[in-house]
Every structure is written in C-alpha cells, then in structure tokens.
C-alpha cells in the first residue's frame, strides 16, 4: 500500500468533484433540506410537552440526521468507478502502477471527507440551535451524552459503509445514474439500524455506542476488502470477466500481500 498513490487519487478526486456541478449542487441542496425539517419540528415542541412526546420527536429527527451520512456519499461514491469508465479515464489510470485497493481507498477517502464534513455540520448546526433556542426539555434529550456520542461515532462509520456499498455497486453497474440510485437504495438498509437507536428501542449507552461503533468499523474494513476483490479491471475495460485462473492469481497475490 503506497500512501503517496492513495494521496494522489484523493487529490485528483477532490479537484474533480469541486468542478462537477451535479456533485456540488447535490452536496449543497441536500444538507439544506436536512436542516430545515429538524429545526421546524423541534422548535415547535412546547416546553410543556410530555417526555414520550419529546423523545419521539427527537428520535425522528435523530433518524433524519443519521440519514445524512447515508444518502450523501453515494452521490460521489457511485460515480467513482462507472463514471471513470464512461468518460474513458479508467484505462489510463489502470495502466499506471496502482493497485486496485489503493485506487478504491483513495476514492473512498475523497468521498468520505466532504460527506463527513457536511454531516457533522448539519448535526451540530441543529444541536447548537436547539441548545440556544428550543425548549429545555428538547435540548436535554438532544444533548444527552450517549445520544451525542452515538451521533458522533456512527456518522463517519455509516458514511464509510455507504461509501463502500456505493463503490461496490459502481464497480458492477453499467451506468452512472443506475449506480447512484442503487447505491442510495442499498444505503437505506442502514435505516433499520439507525431507527433502533433513534427511537431508543435499543437504549443508547456509552458501552453500547462504542461496541456498535467497533462492529461498524470492522464491517467497513471487510467492505473495503470485498469491494477490492469485486473490482475486476478486465470486466470494466473489455466488458468480460477475468478467467478463473487470473482471479485465483489475484487472490494469491492478496494472500501474499497480507502475509
């Protein structure tokens, strides 16, 4: 693994995204949508509201805020491989001395950085606004330590998972739009998990948050490895599958690298 090559991919990706109008607009509009709804909902809760009523509203908003790191990354991640193939840039890149795992890691980091910045920004704008202007009962639930910790820990890990799912779909999809739609849909599987936390069906606690975060981290590492295996240059360039012997050889190489 060469950090220099990974850094080169990250730098190029970030430069390319910044000049891609579709990506810039999507990244700008989605957070605004996710900001308005929680603010309006939580500011309308009166100080006299009952505990269950507040917890239910905050749960719905927490769910919404945890959707941000799930829906934003696929916009970029799903484009990463199939987009390069469509614009004819994948072949020159693959002729450079770059391992697929380095290429994919660089792309994942490049998708991760803006996604996580936006997700945290949205969350903290909501949380600080609640603290300053909403009813105390609402603020107390939002600023509950395990709830905060869960948001802070799970946001990057959920984003990473969504990114690997997006890149995985991108390595197999035939079209950028299809990849983006499938990646967003696939990322929503995490809604079930986040719902359990948001509605406190699983009571958030610090050990539970850390345990679940570690499990998610392990899943992210496994996802990176699996997606690297799914990445088949032959299929992407020539439109055919690598013969079985070549796949075996690549696996052997991976095993050697690990050793």
Partner 1 sequence: MDRANAPCLSGGPALVVEHLTKRFGERVAVEDLSFSVAAGEVFGFLGPNGAGKTTTVRMLATLIAPTSGSALVAGLPLEPGHGVEIRQRIAVMPENPGLYLRLTVAENLEFFAGLYGLPSPQARIGQALEAVNLGGRAGDTCGSLSKGLRQRVALARTLLSDPAIVFLDEPTSGLDPVATREVHGLIEELRGHGVTVFLTTHRLEEAEQLCDRVAILNTTLRTLGRPDELRDRLFAKTLVVRTAAPLRSPEQVFAVPGVESWRVDQRTGYVLTVADTRTAAPEVTRALVAAGADVLSLAEERHSLEDVYLELVDDDVEATR
Residues that bind partner 1 (CB under 8 A): 2, 4-5, 7-9, 11-12, 15-16, 19-20, 87-99, 233-234, 237-238, 240, 242-243, 245-246, 249-250, 252-253, 256
Nearest Cα residue to 76 out of 106, 99, 101: 106
Q: Which is nearer to partner 1, 131 or 235 (CB)?
A: 235
Nearer to partner 1, 95 or 189 (CB): 95
Cβ-based neighbours of 34, under 8 Å, separated by 6 or more: 64, 65, 67, 68, 122
CB nearer to partner 1: pick between 81 and 138: 81
Three-state SS sequence of the chain: CCHHHHHHHHHHHHHHHHCCHHHHHHHHHHHHHHHHHHHHHHHCCCCCCCHHHHHHHHHHHHHHHHHHHHHCHHHHHCCCCHHHHHCCCHHHHHCCCCCHHHHHHHHHHHHHHHHHHHHHHHHHHHHHHHHHHCCHHHHHHHCCHHHHHHHHHHHHHHHHHHHHHHHHHHHHCCCHHHHHHHHHHHHCCHHHHHHHHHCCCCCCCHHHHHHHHHHHHHHHHHHHHHHHHHCCHHHHHHCCCCCHHHHHHHHHHHHHHHC
Nearest to 233 by CA among 221, 247, 248, 216: 247
Distance CA 242, CA 221 (A): 24
Cβ 172 to partner 1 shortest distance, Å: 17
Q: Cβ 182 to partner 1, closest distance in Å? A: 25
Identify which of residues 44 and 253 has a Cβ nearer to partner 1 in the complex.
Answer: 253
To partner 1, the closest distance from the beta carbon of 168 in angstroms equals 21
Minimum distance from residue 90 beta carbon to partner 1 (Å)? 8
Residue 111: CB minimum distance to partner 1, A: 16
Q: How far is the CB of 176 from partner 1 (least distance, A)?
A: 15
Nearer to partner 1, 98 or 135 (CB): 98
Cβ distance to partner 1 smaller for residue 30 or 94:
94
User: Least Å distance between CB 218 and partner 1?
Assistant: 28
Q: Give whichever of 220 and 232 is closer to partner 1, judged by the CB atom.
A: 232
């Amino acid at each position: 693994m060469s950090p220099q090559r990974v850094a080169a991919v990250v730098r190029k990706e970030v430069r390319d995204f910044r000049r891609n109008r579709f990506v810039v607009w999507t990244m700008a509009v989605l957070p605004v949508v996710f900001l308005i709804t929680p603010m309006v909902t939580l500011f309308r809760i009166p100080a006299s509201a009952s505990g269950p009523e507040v917890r239910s509203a905050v749960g719905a908003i927490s769910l919404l805020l945890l959707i941000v790191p799930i829906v934003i990354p696929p916009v970029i991640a799903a484009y990463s491989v199939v987009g390069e193939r469509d614009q004819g840039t994948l072949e020159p890149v693959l002729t450079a001395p770059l391992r697929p795992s380095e290429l994919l890691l660089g792309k994942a980091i490049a998708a991760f950085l803006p996604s996580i910045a936006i997700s945290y920004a949205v969350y903290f704008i909501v949380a600080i606004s609640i603290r300053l202007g909403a009813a105390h009962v609402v603020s107390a639930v939002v600023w509950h330590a395990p709830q905060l910790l869960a948001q802070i820990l799970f946001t990057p890990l959920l984003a990473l998972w969504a990114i690997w799912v997006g890149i995985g779909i991108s390595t197999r999809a035939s079209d950028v739009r299809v990849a983006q739609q499938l990646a967003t849909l696939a990322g929503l599987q995490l809604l079930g998990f986040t719902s359990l936390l948001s509605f406190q069906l699983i009571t958030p606690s610090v050990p539970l948050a850390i345990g679940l975060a570690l499990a998610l981290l392990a899943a992210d590492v496994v996802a990176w490895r699996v997606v690297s295996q799914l990445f088949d240059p032959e299929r992407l360039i020539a439109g055919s599958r690598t013969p079985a012997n070549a796949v075996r050889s690549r696996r052997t190489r991976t095993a050697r690298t690990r050793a």
